[in-house]
Amino acid sequence: MKIDKYQYLKQKYPKIHNDIYNKPKDVINFIHKFSDVNIKPFPIIKLLTYQSYQNKYKDRHIKIGEFYGNLDLD
């Protein structure tokens, strides 16, 4: 939201567009202007929620934690 704070980046990085926005409406217009149906989205990585952690991983972490402090060659 503070345009002056980032103005120097335009000189430092010439690939930056001449537009620096401080209003959400301008950002949305930029996205619409430069959007293309041929752009393929990045795949979404599966998100681990707290509930899925409780269901799947909590017991595994407890079992792994039993071995901490007992690290020897045997």
Residue 13 lies in a domain: yes
pTM summary value: 0.35
Residue 55 lies in a domain: no
CB 16 within 8 A of CB 9: yes
Residue 15 lies in a domain: yes
- Give tens-digit pLDDT for 5-33: 877 887 788 776 667 777 889 888 888 88
- Widest Cα–Cα separation across the chain: 64
Between the alpha carbon of residue 31 and those of residues 2, 6, 13, 25, 26, the distances in Å are 20, 19, 20, 10, 9
Q: What does the block give as tokens for 56?
A: 């799947």
Token pair 């409406």 is found at 25
1 or 64: which carries more pLDDT confidence? 64
Residue 28 lies in a domain: yes
Give the range of the structural domain holding residue 10, as residue numbers without chain letter.
3-34
Domains contained in the chain, number: 1
